[in-house]
Each structure stands twice: as structure tokens, then as C-alpha cells.
Amino acid sequence: MPLNPSIFKAYDIRGVYPDDFNEESAYAIGCALICHTKAEKVVVGKDIRLSSDSLEDALVRGITDQGGDVIKIGQATTPMLYYASGKLAVDVGIIITASHNPAEYNGLKLCRKNAVPIGEGAGMEEIKALAINNIFPSAKKRGIIEENNGFLRHYLDHTKRFFIPHAKKIKVVFDFANAMGIIDKNVFSELSEFIEPIYLYDNFDGRFPNHEANPLKIQTLAALQDKVLETGADLGASFDGDADRVGFVDEKGTIVPMDFSTALIAKEILKKHPGGLVLVDLRSSNAVKEYIEKSGGRVALCRVGHSLIKKQMREEGAIFAGELSGHYYFDENFKAELSGLATIMIMNLINESGRKLSELTQDLKKYFHSGEINSDVVNKSEVFSKLKEKYKTGRLNELDGVRIDFADWWFNVRASNTEPKIRLNLEAKTQSLMEEKRDELLDIIRS
């Protein structure tokens, strides 16, 4: 059966199992990966989707048939796989996961040593071409397979060591959505002297029966919000399917905007790295930049997409980066995501400041943001041209799509990397101006 080329995305490989992505696909990609990268050793992890075990077998067979050795670390979060790619003597890391996608999906995320992404413009096209062609040379020898079940303990200890003990116990509700964040449950349970943890959906179930494992969708946070209010918790945390993203709610059950979390985590990190550079997703509120600078940091805008952010972090020496989708990137995990550490940083800040999370975020509620609004657009370049002409008196930034700043408002319009859509984010100093400009922009985009 021919391999479906549409499973190759900008940042990963994924599709509906078994129609789009299946064992044949995984085997071919395993072969192609070794042929392209010449990797001698690959670390492989997997999530708990129902198809992950058989896909792992096929992937490993493809790698070893081409002479690559494999270290299997078993069930893992994506941050744990990234950590393994830096700590183990390997050339490449792969995790079998479809991240936040529904249960019928599965896929692969790929990286080189030290969590350097393999994505669009960084090897994905070559691997795709080889896998589609599906003709591979015979290897001189077959690779060997090693099990490393002890790596989990090393990862948990690494994450846990960043927690700062405090006299007052903090009560936190964790919603794992029956997905891979349950691995980090071990960290929080082992800190029970200082944390009163309350768990939601903390049994592995690859069908995700309670709700989609995606904290970007507001409806998935309802159970977490209710539990925080019911128990009088200080904080709620919700992890996505492979636990490379996390969303927070405060003690009032209010959802914390993910760019606000970037600012709060940056403040905590800057205590140890004064003057450090923080990258901020260019869709984020201006209040985030102002808050980080007030906390003693330097700020640069970054594009959307984990491979692009990690590359910029390395090139510019950033100590931390945050994305509006709930990805938080740490030096402490080879410039990659570590959602457990993001959660610990928020807990540390609450403890050390003696303030409630709602009070901490109040400092950031200065402007009025539209949220991200999607529009189906046929001719994206024509839209960009119209916007640049219409708003040419503003300050133009083409880092990612079109961002134009004025004294009292700004907007960013960018093409989706994963869908045939244009995404609008807009912020203004007043609610009325935000609504006026939002409607004005949407009229242009959708005309």
C-alpha cells in the first residue's frame, strides 16, 4: 500500500490510524530515517494510544533492518524523549504520538541529538521522499535493541529537583486526561510533603474517554475548573496528550492565558538568570514583554512553531521561550518543552510571592486581546498584500506573516502551518478599539 504523503507535516508526522498512518508507514519511515541521518543509535519512546505498541514494533524493525541500534525507553512523554535524546548516547530520538489529536490518530515526532528538531527544512522533506520511494539498500548488519526501563527515574529526578520547598502547602489539581502527563504524576506525588495533589483522569486510557487531551480547547478545561472551585485549590494544571503542553487555571477557576504563563515562568527563571533573553511568541500580549523586562529580562519576538523557536533559542542564546499554544521551552531540557517544570515554576512563584495566581495575572491584564480567530482563505498572499497597503503607516514586522504595530493597537495575521487557514491575533488598549479593529480586519481577510 503506497505511503500517504499528507502525513508529513511541518513539525511532525501524523494521521488517522490505520487509514493514513500505519505499520507499513512506520517501517518505511524507520528505514528512511537511518538512510538520511546515518544515525547509529536511536532512542524510541511511545504514548499509550491503542496503536502505539504495534507501530513501535514496525518502526524499530525499520531502524534495525537498516543497521541502526535502538534504545527503547517505553511509555514516555515527549519532553522525556527530548531529555533522553540529550542524556543518552544517541544520534536521533523518536516518540510515537499524535500529541493532542483525538484517539484515532497516531504519528511520530523526530529530533536529533540534544532535541534538535527534524522538521520542515531540517530533514523532513528528505525522509518523506525516501519513505515514499520505499526502496532501501541492504544493511551490512542488523541493528540491536536495548531496553532502558530505568531512564524514567532519571527524568523524574531531573524535573523534581527544581521545586523549591515552602512552609505553606500548596493545593493543586492536575488533569491528565488519561494521557501521558500521568508520568509526571510521580513527580507531584513524591512532593506530597509540600503539595496537596488532587488528580483527575489519572489512569492511562488511549481512548481518552473523558475529554480530548487538548488544553487549548476551553471546553476540555471545564472539569478542572469545577474541581479547583470544589476543593479550594490554589492552581489547576491540564496537560495535553503527549504532555509537551500545559494550561493553567487560577484559584477562581479562571483560565490563565498561555502568554501570561510565559511571563510568570520567565519571572521565576530570571531570578537565577538576571538579564537573560526570553523569546516570546509574536502573538502574545504587549503586557508580556513589558512584564518580563520589568522582571529584569530581555525580550525578542519569535515565530510560531517548536522547530523554529528551538532554532532561534540556540542562535540567540535564549534561556526560555513561551508559545501561545502552551509550549514552554527550557534550557534545562535542551531548549525543548518540559511541562512538568513549567508547572513547578508556577507553584514556586505562588509560594515565594505569597500571592494568589489571580493576583499575579492581574498585573498582566492591561490590554484587550481578540484571541486567535481563524478564517478559510484561498489566496493568502493577496490578503497579506492588502493588509500591508491598508496599514502601511504602522510598524511592519514580517517575522511570521504580517504584524503591524500602532501606538494603541497591533495585529498579526499569519498562515497556518497545518491547515488552509489564516489566523488573526489583535490587541488594543481599549475593548471598543479592539472590537472595531477586529471586525475591520476580518472584513478584509474574508472578502
* Single-letter residue type at 377: V
* Spatial separation of the C-alpha atoms in residues 124 and 120, rounded to whole Å: 5
52 is catalytic: no
Cell numbers at residue 1, please? 500500500
What kind and span of H or E run contains 308?
helix 306-316
Residue located via cell numbers 488594543: 428
Cell numbers at residue 227, please? 474541581
If we measure between CA atoms, which residue out of 272, 241, 296, 254 comes closest to residue 96?
A: 241
Q: Which residues pair with 199 in a beta bridge?
A: 174
Please pick, among 51, 99, 238, 307, the residue that the annotation labels catalytic.
99
End-to-end Cα separation, the chain, in angstroms? 42
* Spatial separation of the C-alpha atoms in residues 124 and 197, rounded to whole Å: 40
* Spatial separation of the C-alpha atoms in residues 202 and 426, rounded to whole Å: 37
Phi, psi of 411 (to 5 degrees): -140, 155
What kind and span of H or E run contains 321?
strand 320-322
Strands 277-281 and 246-249: unpaired
**Residues annotated as catalytic (active site), given as ranges:** 99
